[in-house]
């Protein structure tokens, strides 16, 4: 009920923004957390839209949710869905195989754009890799070194122009699993078009005061190309091919929140979350390494790369309600914070759906 209340109250303040249509919580079925619903479509359209805004005041005004009824976790399941869209469309993709290992997935219609590049991509007639298509995608055998493959695929990506927007000139390693042999490197923006797994480091910065936990949240700059103005962790970033998770985190801590190495080196790796998100030709298969950093009370974060507008310290119980009742967070941050809520005892086994939600934090290929 409080959920509906929020949607109404915020709709008054922010037309065309968050899920303002009062929708009965019953459509959020815990038994089929991935079934489509009106609310889901609404969240999706929000999560990728730009140009809307909300303030920290709106964030702090999010009301409490009931914590012990059977629908207490429904807002969390909703955010899992937000990161795992259209899973039923996996059958529209064929495996992308190198040296007998599946390293990605290519949409059958996107494959049509690759087929003219016969010196780079080939499509053998063989469904041994589990696709319901009669073929899979692979690279031409003449491309036998990582360097050759990287250059050849980069040229194709360049040739495809606006079909793959948002080129960042940032290379991601391509392997069947984390730490395994790297077959080549690929432009970050192109990774989802080839269903390549991408890895990131996400850190919750927290502190304990008077027996209560607080999280430092960032609000993304309105100038960011992705998720402008939305809430974020204290620190997060993709994992490029030439740096370890730990070193990358320390670098991001410095750039995004002004956290010196003397503090950031105490950040704890605490596990990982994963998801598969399908949108058009894109299959995002992301694995996020999660970190916790317990900060001194006196530390105040300050952004150094212009990507964060401001930071606020928010009680963890309030953060849980923001996840439950709004779409203020950049989508995948919801998963990393939900993982934090589990590990820090803020979600308890007595609540219906506990194990299902825990499992769903690793809905993707966590490897």
Residue 251 touches its own copies, criterion: CB under 8 A: no
Residue 366 touches its own copies, criterion: CB under 8 A: yes
Cβ proximity to its own copies: between 310 and 359 the closer is 359
Strand partners, 292: 204, 268
Cβ proximity to its own copies: between 56 and 178 the closer is 178
Signed CA dihedral, 284, 230, 9, 335: sign only: positive
CB of 262 to its own copies, least distance (A): 14
Residue 289 touches its own copies, criterion: CB under 8 A: yes
Select from 228, 333, 347, 363 the one that contacts its own copies (CB under 8 A).
347
Three-state secondary structure call for residue 256: helix
Signed CA dihedral, 364, 317, 63, 300: sign only: negative
Length of the chain counted residue by residue: 367
Cβ proximity to its own copies: between 317 and 367 the closer is 367
Residue 245 touches its own copies, criterion: CB under 8 A: yes
Residue 270 tokens, joined: 């605490």
Residue 177 touches its own copies, criterion: CB under 8 A: yes
Residue 141 touches its own copies, criterion: CB under 8 A: no
Cβ proximity to its own copies: between 281 and 291 the closer is 291
CA pair distance 237, 170, nearest whole angstrom = 12
Signed CA dihedral, 173, 103, 361, 276: sign only: positive
Residue 348 touches its own copies, criterion: CB under 8 A: yes
Cβ(285)–Cβ(30) below 8 Å: no
CA pair distance 200, 237, nearest whole angstrom = 6
Stretch in the footprint of its own copies (CB under 8 A) among 94-102, 163-171, 172-180, 219-227? 172-180
Select from 179, 210, 296, 298 the one that contacts its own copies (CB under 8 A).
179
Residue 362 touches its own copies, criterion: CB under 8 A: yes
Backbone angles phi, psi at 287, to 5 degrees: -125, 125
Nearest to 165 by CA among 328, 43, 280: 280
Nearest to 335 by CA among 355, 317, 359, 313: 359
> For the residues of 125-148, what is the DSSP string, one character each?
B--TTS-SSSB-EEE-TT--SHHH
Cβ proximity to its own copies: between 238 and 269 the closer is 269
Select from 56, 178, 282, 313 the one that contacts its own copies (CB under 8 A).
178
CB of 14 to its own copies, least distance (A): 35
Helix then strand count (H, E) for the chain reads: 11, 13
Residue 359 touches its own copies, criterion: CB under 8 A: yes
Cβ(56)–Cβ(219) below 8 Å: yes
Quick note: the x/- pattern for its own copies over 195-234, rule CB under 8 A, is ----------------------------------------
Cβ proximity to its own copies: between 159 and 244 the closer is 244
Residue 358 touches its own copies, criterion: CB under 8 A: yes
CB of 252 to its own copies, least distance (A): 14
Residue 214 tokens, joined: 């607080």
Select from 272, 295, 308, 331 the one that contacts its own copies (CB under 8 A).
272
Cα dist from 285 to 24, 42, 273, 279, whole Å = 31, 23, 11, 12
Residues 90-129 binding its own copies (CB under 8 A) are none
Given the rule CB under 8 A, which residues bind its own copies? 177-179, 244-246, 268-272, 287, 289, 292, 342-345, 347-350, 352-356, 358-359, 362, 366-367
């Amino acid at each position: 009920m409080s959920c509906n209340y929020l949607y109404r109250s915020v709709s008054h303040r922010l037309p065309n923004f968050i899920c303002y249509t009062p929708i009965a919580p019953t459509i959020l079925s815990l038994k089929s957390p991935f079934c489509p619903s009106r609310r889901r479509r609404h969240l999706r359209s929000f999560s990728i839209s730009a140009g809307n805004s909300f303030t920290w005041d709106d964030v702090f005004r999010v009301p409490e949710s009931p914590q012990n009824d059977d629908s207490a976790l429904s807002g969390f399941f909703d955010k899992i869905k937000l990161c795992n869209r259209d899973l039923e469309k996996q059958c529209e993709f064929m495996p992308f195989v190198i040296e007998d290992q599946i390293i990605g997935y290519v949409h059958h219609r996107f494959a049509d754009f690759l087929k003219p590049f016969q010196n780079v991509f080939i499509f053998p007639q063989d469904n041994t890799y589990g696709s319901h298509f009669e073929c899979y995608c692979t690279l031409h055998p003449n491309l036998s070194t990582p360097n050759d493959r990287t250059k050849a695929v980069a040229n194709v990506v360049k040739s495809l122009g606006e079909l793959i927007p948002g080129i960042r000139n940032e290379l991601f390693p391509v392997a069947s699993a984390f730490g395994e042999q790297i077959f080549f490197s690929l432009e970050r923006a192109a990774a989802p078009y080839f269903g390549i797994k991408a890895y990131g480091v996400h850190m919750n910065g927290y502190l304990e005061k008077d027996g209560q936990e607080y999280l430092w949240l960032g609000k993304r700059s309105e100038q960011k190309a992705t998720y402008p103005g939305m809430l974020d962790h204290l620190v997060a970033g993709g994992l490029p091919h030439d740096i370890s998770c730990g070193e990358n985190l320390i670098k991001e801590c410095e750039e995004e929140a002004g956290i010196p190495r003397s503090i950031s080196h105490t950040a704890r790796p605490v596990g990982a979350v994963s998801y598969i998100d399908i949108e058009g030709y894109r299959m995002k298969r992301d694995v996020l390494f999660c970190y916790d950093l317990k900060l001194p009370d006196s530390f105040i974060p300050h952004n150094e790369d212009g990507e964060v507008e401001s930071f606020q310290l928010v009680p963890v119980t309030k953060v849980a309600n923001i996840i439950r009742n709004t779409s203020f967070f950049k989508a995948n941050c919801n998963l990393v914070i939900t993982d934090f809520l589990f590990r820090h005892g803020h979600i308890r086994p007595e609540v219906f759906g506990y194990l299902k939600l825990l499992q769903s934090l690793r809905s993707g290929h966590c490897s």
